[in-house]
Chains A and B, each alone.
Chain A
Amino acid sequence: MFIDIIIWIIQIILVPAVAPLCVGIIRKIKAKLQNRQGAGIFQPYQDLWKLFHKDEVISKDASWIFRCAPYIVFTVTIIIGASIPLFASFINNTVTGDLLIIIYTLAIGTFFLALAGIDTGSAFGGFGSSREMTVAALAEGGFIFSLLTVALISGSTNVFTISQTGLLYQSQYLLSGTLAFFGFFIVLLAETARFPFDNPATHLELTMIHEAMILEYSGKKLALMEWASANKLLIFIALASNLFFPLGIAQSAGISAVMLGMVIFMIKIVIFCLVIAVLESSIAKFRFFRLPDLLIIAFIFNVVAIILIH
């Protein structure tokens, strides 16, 4: 019981604490691959610190939606970060650990982010919102179904139970699991605004999606938005690593198991960051109307995966 409480507290803090590091690592690896020195991996923390200490300018056209959205978007990522398995799967979360709760609570963030994009009346923001909602709507099918595949294998839609049951230990589901993972990975790239869906490094480009919506933000609110998007990246990495590769996650209460779980979780994060960075350095951004093909592929992968489950 005592260890449960400690783990919950760590869960709440861990995602916002580690998320900027993720972004830093990806940027560093990308810089190395481009033959640049690049900023240090702790640079995103310094960026957030800087933004939190800046004054703000808010558009006179903006309403309370624009002012509240950063808090809502950030809160969503904190709650989801605490509701999914990070390094321990033995704890029981039957209240917010359902996969549909996770998907639809994340959708609250998307909803307010898109509304905030429209709110200032800038053409950039409006088109960013339009694109974001298009991608999010089409990613929904793949997102739900990839988690459904592992849920059907584990016999529960609770993410902790899925992680505890362990996909890897059942060899007859290997093919389903692999297909579902590829489907999920495509959704990960779409939802976290990475290549080939969006360019996270751009700030003024007509095709941008995420950056277009937060263009009007400054100061603390921008910091919250940036931080929330880093959190979201970490949440997706955690889902990918702990639902599809639950190896090494702490399955029972014990200091050593938990410590090991944490170390392995960090290693998994670094591996995923490496994969994303390599992917971003090696492929170009897709034309917007080719993205649906990719997202439908993610969905079809998962339909096949579900059919293969007996």
Chain B
Amino acid sequence: MKILVAVKRVIDYNVQVRVKEDGTGVVTDNVKMSTNPPDDNAVEEAVKIKESGKAKEIVAVTVGEDKAQETVRKALAVGADRGIHVKVDGTVEPLAVSKILQKIVDKEKPDLIFMGKQAIDDDCNQTGQMLAALLNWPQATFASKIEVKEKSLEVIREVDEGLETIEVNIPAIVTCDLRLNEPRYASLPNIMKAKKKPVEQINASDLGVDTKQRIEQIKVEEPPKRKAGIKVASVEELVQKLKNEAKVI
């Protein structure tokens, strides 16, 4: 079995994001970038499945500018076998990303595709479902447990009401939740080894996918700031304030 894992480079989740003064976006210069956190879970799950003997090969793929390759290298350092970097500059919307991934799937013919359920930059939560639609594959989104069976996966999904279990036929797409597993850290020797693993470079334009933006970003602004609050000295004061000042209890 072959697993394709899609990873995205985003502003690190610990960074306090700042809006650019001219309203064209957020500040990314000299800001720490990392792999989108649930994409790390996707890589980890693929590696665990390979370690269990149920998968033979893991291919990590990313779509983005030159530096996006770092996320592929990181996936290689924790156990992916080879990488694909589809180069494209500027914003690529989930629809275009899923069309690019569709081309990669046509070529690679994986049995499973894993990725994070959502990217923490645009918070779109679309790519996995869109790719599933384009391929006419089943989708298991927000996965917190995956069991690999002969010709299917049994997946537990985190939904608003609690947990849902579904069975999807292979080939399938799974989008991973943060609780799926605990992503491992790459050891230094493995980071060195990863540098020797092959990463194929492809230009998005060579795949014949139109990546033109369909959504115009008119402006980006800071959300309204909350008024500074106060510290109360005691529980009694807190309850009095809630009762008589805020009038919420």
Q: Do A and B bind each other?
A: no
B binding-site residues for A, Cβ under 8 Å = none
A binding-site residues for B, Cβ under 8 Å = none
